[in-house]
Amino acid sequence: MPTDHHVLGPAVVEAIDIHHHYGDGAQRVDVLFDINLQIREGELLIVTGPSGSGKTTLLTILGTMRRPSQGVLRLLGADVTNMQGAGLDALRNRIRFLFQKRNLLSSLTALQNVIAGVSTTPLSDPAWNEPRARHLLGMLGLGDKADAWPDELSGGQQQRVAIARVMIGLPDLIIADEPTSALDRVAGRLVVDQLKDLAMRAKCAVVLSTHDERIFDVASRRLHIEDGRCFEVPIHYH
Amino acid sequence: MALTLPEFPLPALRRWRPGLLLSRLMSAAKTAASMPLGAQQLRRQRTSTLLSLAGVTSSLLVIFAQLGIERAVYDSGVRLHRSVIADLLLVPAGFKSLQLHAEVPVAMTDIVSADPGVEGTSPLWFGVMSMSHAGMPTPRRLAWYAIDVERPAIDVPGLRENLYKLRVVRRILFDRDSRPYFGDLAEVAGRGEEVPVLGPPDNRLLLREMFVVGTVAIGPNVVNDGAVVISEGTMSEVFGSWWTDRPAFIGITLAPGADLLKTRESLNRAVAGRGEVITRQEFEARERAYWSRETPVGYITDVSFIMGLMIGMVFIYYAQYQIIRFYLPEYAILKSLGYDWWFFLCMIGQIGAAIITPAFLVGFALARLVYGVAEAALHLGMSMGMREMVVSLVASLIMTVVSSLFALRRLWKVDPIMLFE
């Protein structure tokens, strides 16, 4: 699947000369250097790199969970580098995360977990939240699991419930941290296909970190990070 | 796999605007109420939930017990005060409580009666004595109230119809609401039989004989197991004539049309510090104030109430803390989904409410049982009134809010970054 930049929408995230370090003085450890990055609507960016290369730090910065030490971060056109308070909260509401595991609230059913993804957004409508959540679960093949507890679901099913929760909030940016690492090949493939489809149809940007080479082909672009520096790697489509 | 996004009508995206605190809190409460997370988490943490429930129920029981004891002590202390039939009372200067046995010189009656606003006066004498009769293993302490039979200062049930019997000396009316230590005395006297009883010893250590000829209803208090009403004549004969000069208070009935406050002011000027003229409400309020501020009872009940409140808080906090500790990553997920502190406060409050509600109901039912048992033994008028319910409900609310605020502090540590690790 070739990258086709000209059909992609406007930039969702722009990182300009991002530099990040932990600690100060003798304890200072630099983890990211000169990151320049633009991710557009409909794009699925895969971030690869060895452990400790700075992948997670980059994801948390892009997700506005961490403030970069230097540089500028723009989200949906707004400079969020030094943004605080309610303005930042409102923008954060347009980002959704998908983690490797521990995605679901164990005390809520699959359906309630999905509804939890929309309750804080302006899209929330008590009359429609439940039918919408049921529709999404059905679409992801979990129609009969709506009332199941997370511990009654397989790892792949749990990830699909988490995707439904991401989808219901119609986010502009999805950050997925190794979402397939705990899944088998088939379940993993299903999850990334759904993310790719979501990026294209819902016109959102997806940033996905992974070590799993088998899923590189879903990416619009692949970014490799090593020792805090990133570079784009061509993707070989099978 | 092809995805079709749901075709549901989506509301227009609202512009973000800073909400007022109350509206944000209301909205968070609505969201928290629609998500049964706290209740589910409590159900899953069965052991700590049950422990908290037991602890909070016990603390509420302590609070109910303190409120009941307080009410019983204060109410039983002012039973007689409520039966006074005067408009004003002349009491010893700086009067605090009848139990202090302060006296008013009876000569003050002349000064008071001289005021044109006063229609009449009625003194009441008060003391304590031990009493026994054939059916009792040991004597018990009770209060005696001596009245002027022509102008009784009090009106208690049973007094009017039996008043004439007091004209004969050594005839007394026994308080049928006394504690059960007096055996069948009230029952026998109530049938109209004359029951001989033995009062305190005289100078020769001979017990003074009196006769119960009827009953009245006053009720015991904390220090006395019961009471008797006697005439001034009986008092003089049994305890000595010097008592006549020393009433505990003098009831003052105003002349028709006399202004209460002006008369009181004028009387206070007239008695010139040798006594004090107060209203019935003040009379009762001072007695209550004495019991609440100047006896250990007030301190003990207040301290126990605060202890109950704190123990309750600790147990609610324990349940909340256990849940937060166990489900910390899940709260991080909620935070990553944009749930704010108002939501977390409501969620934690929901957990507190889920603990306090059943605890309150069980505590209430147990407290009624305890009140019933205590009342049967003490006859102090312990009962579950609106005050007990409202105060313990407010205490429950305070427990929940304070423990929730403390538990919320624990959630400050929640950071969605932990989900990446």
**Residue ranges for chain B with pLDDT beneath 50:** 1-6, 8-19
Q: How many CB atoms lie within 10 A of CB A217?
A: 15
Contact A121 B416 (CB under 8 A): no
Q: Are A234 and A39 in contact (CB under 8 A)?
A: no
Q: What is the per-residue pLDDT for A18?
A: 92
Query: Using CA atoms, how far apart are residues B323 and A107, in angstroms rounded to an integer?
Result: 11
Distance to chain B for A181, nearest Cα, Å: 13
Are B340 and A89 in contact (CB < 8 Å)?
yes
Comparing CA positions, the residue from B178, B217, B128 lying closest to residue B380 is B178
Beta-ladder partners of B114:
none
Closest CB from B6, B8, B18 relative to A86:
B18
CB neighbours of B334 closer than 8 A, spacing ≥ 6? A105, A116, B343, B344
- Asked if residue A128 lies in contact with residue B5, where contact means CB atoms within 8 angstroms, the answer is no
DSSP B322-375: HHHHHTHHHHHHHHHTT--HHHHHHHHHHHHHHHHHHHHHHHHHHHHHHHHHHH
Residue B393 confidence (pLDDT): 92
B3 → closest Cβ in A93, A115, A194: A194
Which of B5, B7, B15 to probe the A interface (max A CBs under 10 A)? B5
Task: Single out the residue of B362, B359, B349, B358 nearest to residue B323, CA to CA.
Answer: B349
Tokens (6 digits) for B114: 């001289």
- In degrees and rounded to multiples of 5, residue B97 shows phi and psi of -155, 150
Provide the angle, in degrees to the nearest 10, between the axes of the packed helices B46-77 and B37-44: 100
| B230 in Cβ contact with B145 (< 8 Å) | yes
Cβ distance of B34 and A119 shorter than 8 Å: yes
Q: What percent of chain B has pLDDT over 90?
A: 48
- Whether A148 has its CB under 8 Å from any CB of chain B: the answer is no
CA distance A164 to A96: 11
On average, the pLDDT of chain B sits at 87
Asked whether the beta carbons of residue B36 and residue A193 sit closer than 8 angstroms, the reply is no
89-108 in chain A: CB under 8 A from chain B = 89-90, 92-93, 96-97, 99, 102-108
Q: HSE-up of A140 (CA within 13 Å, CB side)?
A: 35
Q: What's the rounded Cα separation, in Å, for the pair B119 and A151?
A: 86
Nearest to A162 by CA among A184, A186, A190, A185: A190
* Closest by Cβ to A128, choosing from B4, B8, B420: B8
Quickly count: other Cβ atoms within 10 Å of residue B87's Cβ.
19
pLDDT tens digit at each of 238 positions of chain A: 444 444 567 889 999 999 999 988 888 899 999 999 999 988 999 999 988 888 889 999 999 888 999 999 998 888 888 887 777 878 888 899 988 877 899 989 999 999 998 887 878 788 888 999 999 898 888 889 999 999 999 888 898 899 899 888 888 999 998 888 877 888 888 888 888 888 888 888 999 998 888 888 888 889 999 988 988 887 766 5
Q: Is A182 on the interface with B (CB under 8 A)?
A: no
Side-chain-side CA neighbours of A98 within 13 Å: the count stands at 32
8 A C-beta contact, residue B322 and residue A104: no
The two most distant CA atoms of chain B are separated, in Å, by 112
Residues 6+ apart with CB under 8 A from A4: none
Burial (CB count within 10 angstroms: exposed 0-12, middle 13-18, buried 19+), residue B402? middle
How far is B351 from chain A, CA to nearest CA, in Å? 13
Contact call for residues A19 and A68 (beta carbons, < 8 A): yes
ipTM rounded to 2 decimals:
0.85
Nearest C-alpha neighbor of B253 from the set B136, B118, B67? B118
Could you tell me how far CA B249 lies from the centroid of its own chain?
25
Per-residue DSSP letter, B421: -
Count how many residues are written for chain A.
238
* 3-state secondary structure (DSSP) of residue B131: strand
Cβ neighbours, 10 Å, residue A182:
15
DSSP B227-284: EEEEEHHHHHHHH-GGGGG--SEEEEEEPTT--HHHHHHHHHHHHTTSSEEEEHHHHH
Counting one residue from chain A and one from chain B, the pairs whose CB atoms sit within 8 A come to 102
Helix (H, G, I), strand (E, B) or coil at A225: strand
Cβ-based contacts of B41 with chain A (< 8 Å) = 107
Whether residue B141 contacts residue B130, with contact meaning beta carbons closer than 8 Å, is answered with yes
Bridge partners for B250 per DSSP: B90, B123
pLDDT of residue A8: 64
Which amino acid type is present at position B63?
I
A232/chain B closest Cα distance in angstroms: 23
A176, B420 contact by CB (below 8 A): no
DSSP string, A42-106: T-EEEEE--TTSSHHHHHHHHTTSS--SEEEEEETTEE-TT--HHHHHHHHTTEEEE-SS--S-T
What do you get for the CA distance between the two ends of chain B, in Å?
30
CB contact under 8 A, A120 and B37: no
C-alpha to C-alpha distances, A82 to A20, A66, A72, A85, nearest whole angstrom: 14, 11, 9, 10
